Structure 1
Amino acid sequence: MDATPAQAVVAHVTALGGVARTAHVIADGYSRHRIAHAVDLGLVSRVRRGWIAVPGADSDLVAAARYGVVVSCVTAAARLGLWVTHTPETPHAAYPGRGRVAQSAAVVHWQRPIVPRHPDVLEDPVENVLMTVASCLPFEEARAIWDSALNKGLVDLATLKRMPWTGAARRLVDEATPWADSGLETIFVVRLRWLRLPIRVQVWIAEHRVDVLIGDRLVVQIDGGHHVDAQRTSDIRHDAELLLLGYHVIRVGYEQIVHRWPEVQDRILHAVAQGLHRA
């Protein structure tokens, strides 16, 4: 038998994302015999009963098919480019709502999805990702992911508010905003909202955006790894402009917020005690 029909199976599975349900491939016009021939030639492999994959397919999706789950929660959030504090060594997944889940090292979430999962899907839609992180992560980390999804335009807040959220997600949908440019900004605001002062993110001052403005005059700039060389020079220039306009500027970094928060909080509290946030 000519290898061309088998290669057509490979091309089709590749177009479906590299991993596909056999039933889907058959429904698209490829016979079981042709699929079996592609397997015999080593052009595709049987990942699990009812699933096949091409060589080099996405390892997360292959694992999801093998164990009968869908990629979700913080693992899916990281794959979407959302802001996460870290990518866990143990992958997170969700029960797809049907079939048997094979034993694996993954953390599996069993909630009913907010958006129904199609049988062919191996990765949760972003709304289901937000649902799983809401129940899995500490509030501030989950809020950072929600804000990140809104900031990137992957979801719309008005649409989210129409969905029947439960548990921690109900609080998140009421508080999440699209304005934070980094999860560090979200974490900063969440941790200091007990001050009951106006705390705004991404405010335009002197033709530049500042990361956080507390009250009227206290600016907090949160530096990431990109604040070097030309960016650093620009930051110093903008700090000087802000000082001349009567603002007080405090700079903090990722490591301080994530690992040395008491130092950051103490600095902010002392600035507020001196009235540096007032006009």
Structure 2
Amino acid sequence: MIQQPEFLTVGHVARDVQDDGSFTLGGTVTFAAQTAYHLGLTAAIVTCADPEVAQLLPEALPGIALQISPTEQSTTFANHYQDGFRTQYLYARAPDLSLQDIPSTWCECARIVLFGPLAQELSSDMIKQFARQPGMLLAATPQGWLRQWDATGRVSPVLWQDAEQLLPALDVLILSHDDLLPFADGNRAAADKLLVDWSLLVPLLVATDGRHGATLFQHGQMRHFSAYPAQEVDPTGAGDVFAAAFLTHLDRHHDPAQAVDFANYVAALSIEKPGILGIPHRSQLKDF
């Protein structure tokens, strides 16, 4: 029997292609669900995947409930590095996800719902029509709404057109500060101005900034939190780990400032091992 989730996340699981042609499992939902599970919540993912990925997921994410819509190709990314710069390619994209893909009982019992698009697979209408339950935290990481790609698959930034319509439907928005720099000509102050404007439309907004920590925005007010030191091995998914840790702590303790500090700590631990192996368990955090 599938356990009803306390933490539900919706979005594409990704194939992240490596230089040798192999792939690892990626995507916001992968890292976020594993983090919530390690922190003691029952967790579930709603996604779509090709047969190979669908077969790998139960073994890679034991203990996490999965609702997988079958598709011929999973969303597939590859990163190419030259002279210190990264060029990202989207080689395949799975179909959009809809409310019909989510088991109705999961919608009713989840305390936290995180929408984590990778490639525009979640529509604003879908999220605005989501049946919010009393006491539920509805959150999003908008990275997938800030991407576009050309005929070759090369990914480039695109401004989130539906932000002003969607933000009032959310409780929390969590994103990387760097995601907004392309729209501010690389000017951090201009990016902060956009974040301040968005924070007037959503109760809580958190912008992560790697080794510089994270900033909490509440109704136009900013409060910065320093990062914790870490021996970086693999930063992949750190923002998604942060998001799940923040939401888990906020759900339990209802203190956004404490939740940011906690999430910074969990994210720092997560980058000290490759992939999802670095995500800490609750027992490792008992003295925090």
TM-score range, shorter chain: under 0.3
Between Structure 1 and Structure 2, which shows a larger proportion of helix residues? 1
Q: Which has the higher contact order (CA 8 A, sep 6+)?
A: 2
Between Structure 1 and Structure 2, which shows a larger proportion of strand residues? 2
Is the radius of gyration larger for structure 1 or structure 2? 1
